Amino acid sequence: MEDKLLAIVKSINGVLWGVPMMVILVGCGIFYTLALRGIQVRDFGLAFKKAFSGFSLKGKKAGADGMSSFQSLATAIAGQVGTGNLTGSATAIISGGPGAIFWMWISAFFGMATIFAEAVLGQKYKVVKDGQVTGGPAYYLRNGIHSKVLAALFAIFITIALGLVGNLVQANSIGQAFSSVIDVPTWVVGLVIVVISGFIFIGGVGRIASVTEKIVPVMAFFYILGGLIILIKNGGATADAFRQIFVGAFKPEAVLGGAAGVTVRQAVRYGVARGLFSNEAGMGSTPHAHAIAKVNHPCDQGLVAIVGVFIDTFVVLTINALVIIATGANQIDGLKGIKVTQKAFELGIGHIGVAFIAVALFFFAFSTIIGWYFYGEANVRYLFGQKGIGAYRILALVFIYLGTMFEVDLVWELADMFNAMMVIPNVIGVIGLYKVVQSTLNEYQTLKLDVNPNA
């Protein structure tokens, strides 16, 4: 039965993630890169300054009026930096060859312009609902595009895609990682995740912001450090890994050999699909976090959002991918999902590498569970108001528990399918409101010039 369902979902994804979706996603990023005159390059330094000027592991408690800019960034990165980095990059390399990473980079570069627009729109159209600040694509689709249908569709799709199925992916990866390290049933792991998650969910936006601002910087630092140690130890292999990525992007057979059967189309398909799942640019998820940041101008948070994509893809994901390719873990038959990443770190730093990845993935995936739950809750509130939150909370915990029981192939294919369905209405809104984004940026740059004539 599960094999039949997998075949059906794969056939649907073959259509959803075909050339049209590639054009939509990358095209949106190219459009905004041109419309905003290369904002992700031109204001890259300012973006980092804005992102980390309020850095703190213990900021002011978030409340009904929102959270700090850094807490919003941490919540967004919590959703971005998860299994898309540790597991997603591995599955992309296995399915699309090393060249898939190149297409992840391409989609992320243009995606930085898209996510700037999403964050600005999130700020522009945020509202107070049930006594607290909230925002996201549902609100700019309803109040900007003036389409209640698209707003409702997006709210439904993201609740299923991230709050339910997406978190099923996160729990699945945690369960598989720990089963490789210690002899513990996956249902026990699932129960532990449910208990901790439930405690945080009940605490609302204040507890979510408090947890993410602490977990995200610490987990990213240690993971980057571990990866760099392996890459430095494998200097020659690391250089060759870069070669494989660039050559494999256009000539997969030159890296993998004709027998592997990987084509350029597969490299692009898995690179862009896993890239989206990782950095979420154009997906419409991160605007929920950026919308409730307490900033002086919407573009302040737009610039901060750019940093989130950079850290996710060009730092964490790239290091993970290079470790996999440099150690040759992607060439070992029979490995898939998180086990590829675990094997890479085991080859790089010994058996402790397996435990290192299990612990890292727990924090990466768990922080994503928190972020994605938050996105789902925002949309349940949009659809049903406060009365729908209790039922959603219970359902989300059930999906988290069930996630530890599924096979990885079906879980990832389901995630891809629902991700595609939520992208479409969001991109319609982002493109349709480009004049709002442009005018907001022009206003912001005028303010900067008034304050600093040399800006």
Q: What is the CATH number of the domain that holds 165?
A: 1.20.1740
Q: What was the pLDDT predicted at 208?
A: 78
Residue 367: count of CB within 10 angstroms of its CB: 26
Q: What was the pLDDT predicted at 124?
A: 95
Q: What was the pLDDT predicted at 431?
A: 95
Could you give the percent of the chain with pLDDT greater than 90?
Answer: 29
The tokens 């599960």 sit on which residue? 2
Q: What tens digit of pLDDT does each residue of 353-396 get?
A: 877 877 887 888 888 888 888 889 999 999 998 889 999 999 99
- Beta partners for residue 133, in sequence order: 128
Higher pLDDT, 197 or 182: 197
Residues 424 and 52: their CA atoms lie apart, in Å, by 32
Query: Is residue 24 domain-resident?
Result: yes
Residue 263, phi-psi category: left (phi > 0), alpha (psi -120 to 50), beta (remainder): beta
135-149, 218-232, 275-289, 439-453: least confident range: 439-453
> What rounded mean pLDDT belongs to the chain?
83
Q: What was the pLDDT predicted at 379?
A: 93
Q: Does residue 454 register a pLDDT over 50?
A: no
Q: What was the pLDDT predicted at 64?
A: 60
Query: Is residue 76 domain-resident?
Result: yes
Residue 130: count of CB within 10 angstroms of its CB: 11
Q: What was the pLDDT predicted at 112?
A: 94
Look at the pTM and tell me if it is higher than 0.85. Answer: yes
Q: H helices of 17-159, where?
A: 19-35, 39-42, 44-52, 69-80, 83-86, 88-96, 99-124, 137-143, 148-158
| Most confident segment among 65-69, 322-326, 362-366 | 322-326
Query: Is residue 455 domain-resident?
Result: no
Domain count, the chain: 1
Q: Does residue 453 register a pLDDT over 60?
A: no
Token pair in block for residue 5:
């369902």
Rounded to an integer, the average pLDDT of 259-283 is 74
Instruction: Give the DSSP H/E element, type plus range, for residue 133.
Output: strand 132-134
What angle (nearest 5°) sits at the alpha carbon of residue 324, between those of residues 323 and 325?
Answer: 95
| Most confident segment among 6-15, 209-218, 431-440 | 431-440
3-state helix, strand, coil in the chain (%, to 5): 80, 0, 15
4-18, 168-182, 296-310, 329-343: least confident range: 168-182
Residues 248 and 241: their CA atoms lie apart, in Å, by 10
| 8 Å CB contact between 24 and 427 | yes
Residues 292 and 289: their CA atoms lie apart, in Å, by 6
Q: 63 by DSSP, 3-state: which? A: strand
Could you give the percent of the chain with pLDDT greater than 70?
Answer: 89
Query: Is residue 331 domain-resident?
Result: yes
Domain that includes residue 64, residue range: 11-433
Q: What was the pLDDT predicted at 259?
A: 43
Rounded to an integer, the average pLDDT of 203-207 is 74
Q: H helices of 257-405, where?
A: 264-279, 287-291, 298-309, 318-327, 338-349, 352-384, 389-403
Query: Is residue 360 domain-resident?
Result: yes
| Rounded-to-10 torsion of CA 401, 407, 409, 412 | 0
Closest Cα to residue 425, out of 157, 87, 214, 78? Answer: 157
Rounded to an integer, the average pLDDT of 152-160 is 93
| 8 Å CB contact between 267 and 100 | yes
Query: Is residue 440 domain-resident?
Result: no
Query: Is residue 454 domain-resident?
Result: no
Instruction: Give the DSSP H/E element, type plus range, for residue 16.
Output: helix 2-16
Residues 301 and 375: their CA atoms lie apart, in Å, by 17
Query: Is residue 273 domain-resident?
Result: yes
Q: What was the pLDDT predicted at 293?
A: 87
For residue 60, what is the DSSP state? P
Token pair in block for residue 205:
């936006």
Rounded to an integer, the average pLDDT of 290-317 is 91
